[in-house]
């Protein structure tokens, strides 16, 4: 279903009525009265906005993310506070918010949390949009239907299903202990909103994935959403400081994959601590501080166990046929990037 403006039409109300139906959603999500569910879903969709970002001229992230990024966000505060996925606003020069009624408003960056991947932006002009309430991960079970919504010029509303709740390790030195995986996938997933039928925000879209159901289930295309449960403990700190204590951790500058019980380096960021220490593409990480690692989760958590971002980390690697022990001095990731205006 496609909703290009927030002028409520008959088809949109009918669509919400279908989405509100207990026949669609299943039994594990308690059903509100039909009209209440319709109203909640309409309000939820209205809280989703487009996010349009132009990166700074010297943005290091432009190589992988581009200098023009388009995605979505969700209004979560009466003061115009918007939750999105952080990579959209990384090293932003300008940020614009596009509402359902075709208003384009300037915004500023408020905070970016490396640990969760969340980003906060704030409209510089009144949004006049009611914020979406936050839901809870524990109330959602695999098989439950959810509503995915995107904002901007190509805003969409779609029904999808939760297929898995599990830890997620990203190749870019990222791990969260709980992530939401849905299928079928939506296209414009960056910053997309995931709602239950009470109109409560459950997660923010991050990735397209081929294995939404996890290992051993074959190729099942879907999306990964970061659950808003991870936002609650850090929201105040993120608004006050622009970052969080959990994000102040060592970063090495490695892109890695997990294959057959081995952690292999796929790419080394130019001028990163890893490159300076002599790590090369194709190396296999055997141990961190003499502790063997076989998964990305183990690898990252051993690194992040260091108290300071610039601690020395001992990596045992297999480089070709030779085993080496390298000392890598970590760095705070945020110090390597241009700060978005406002933070």
Q: What is the pLDDT of residues 234-270, one digit of tens each?
A: 999 999 999 999 999 999 999 999 988 999 999 999 9
Determine contact, residues 86/192, Cβ cutoff 8 Å: no
Q: What is the 3-state secondary structure (H, E, C) of 74-96?
A: EECCCCCEEEEEHHHHCCEEEEE
* Residues in the chain, overall count: 343
Q: Are strands 331-332 and 250-251 parallel, antiparallel or unpaired?
A: antiparallel
Indicate the pTM of the whole model: 0.91
Angle at 29 between CA 190 and CA 205, to 5 degrees: 5
Q: Do domains 1-246 and 248-336 have the same CATH topology?
A: no
At 61, list the tokens. Answer: 């992230």
Q: Are strands 284-288 and 262-268 parallel, antiparallel or unpaired?
A: antiparallel
State the architecture of 248-336 in CATH terms: Roll (2.30)
Contacts of residue 33, Cβ cutoff 8 Å, sequence gap at least 6 = none
Q: What is the pLDDT of residues 304-340, one digit of tens each?
A: 999 899 999 999 999 999 999 999 999 999 888 877 6
Residue 225 three-state SS: strand
Going from N- to C-terminal start, the domains of the chain cover 1-246, 248-336
At 178, list the tokens. Answer: 């709980």
Half-sphere exposure of 273 (CA within 13 A, CB side): 23
* CATH number of the structural domain 1-246: 2.40.10.120
pLDDT digit string (tens) for the chain, length 343 residues:
444 444 445 445 555 665 666 545 555 555 566 778 788 888 999 999 999 999 998 888 878 888 999 999 999 999 999 999 999 999 999 999 999 999 999 999 999 999 999 999 999 999 999 999 999 988 889 999 899 999 998 888 888 999 999 999 999 999 999 999 999 999 899 999 999 988 999 999 999 999 999 888 889 999 999 999 999 999 999 999 999 999 999 999 999 999 889 999 999 999 999 999 999 999 999 999 999 999 999 999 999 999 899 999 999 999 999 999 999 999 999 888 877 666 6
């Amino acid at each position: 279903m496609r909703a290009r403006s927030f002028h409520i039409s008959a088809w949109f109300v009918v669509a919400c009525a279908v989405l509100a139906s207990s026949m669609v959603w299943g039994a594990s999500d308690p059903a509100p009265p039909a009209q209440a569910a319709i109203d909640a879903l309409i309000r939820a969709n209205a809280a989703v906005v487009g996010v349009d970002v132009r990166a700074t001229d010297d943005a290091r992230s432009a190589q992988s993310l581009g200098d023009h990024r388009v995605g979505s966000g969700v209004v979560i505060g009466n003061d115009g506070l918007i939750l999105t996925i952080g990579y959209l606003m990384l090293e932003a020069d300008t940020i614009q918010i596009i509402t359902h009624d075709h208003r384009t408003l300037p915004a500023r960056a408020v905070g970016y949390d490396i640990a969760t991947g969340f980003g906060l932006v704030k409209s510089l002009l009144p949004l006049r949009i009611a914020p979406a309430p936050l839901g809870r991960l524990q109330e959602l079970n695999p098989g439950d239907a959810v509503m995915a919504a995107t904002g901007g010029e190509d805003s969409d509303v779609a029904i999808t299903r939760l297929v898995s709740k599990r830890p997620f390790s990203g190749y870019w030195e990222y791990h969260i202990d709980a992530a939401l995986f849905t299928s079928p996938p939506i296209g414009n997933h960056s910053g997309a909103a995931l709602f239950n039928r009470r109109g409560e925000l459950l997660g923010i879209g991050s990735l397209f994935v081929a294995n939404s159901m996890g290992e051993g289930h074959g190729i099942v295309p879907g999306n990964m959403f970061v659950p808003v449960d991870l936002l609650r403990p850090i929201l105040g700190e993120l608004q006050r400081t622009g970052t969080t204590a959990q994000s102040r951790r060592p970063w090495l500058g490695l892109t890695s994959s997990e294959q057959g019980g081995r952690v292999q380096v796929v790419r080394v960021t130019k001028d990163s601590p890893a490159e300076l220490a002599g790590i090369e593409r194709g190396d296999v990480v055997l141990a961190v501080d003499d502790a063997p690692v076989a998964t990305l989760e183990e690898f990252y958590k051993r690194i992040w166990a260091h108290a300071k971002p610039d601690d020395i980390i001992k990596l045992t690697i297999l480089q070709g046929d030779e085993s080496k022990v390298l000392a890598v001095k970590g760095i705070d990731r945020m110090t390597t990037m241009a700060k978005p205006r406002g933070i």
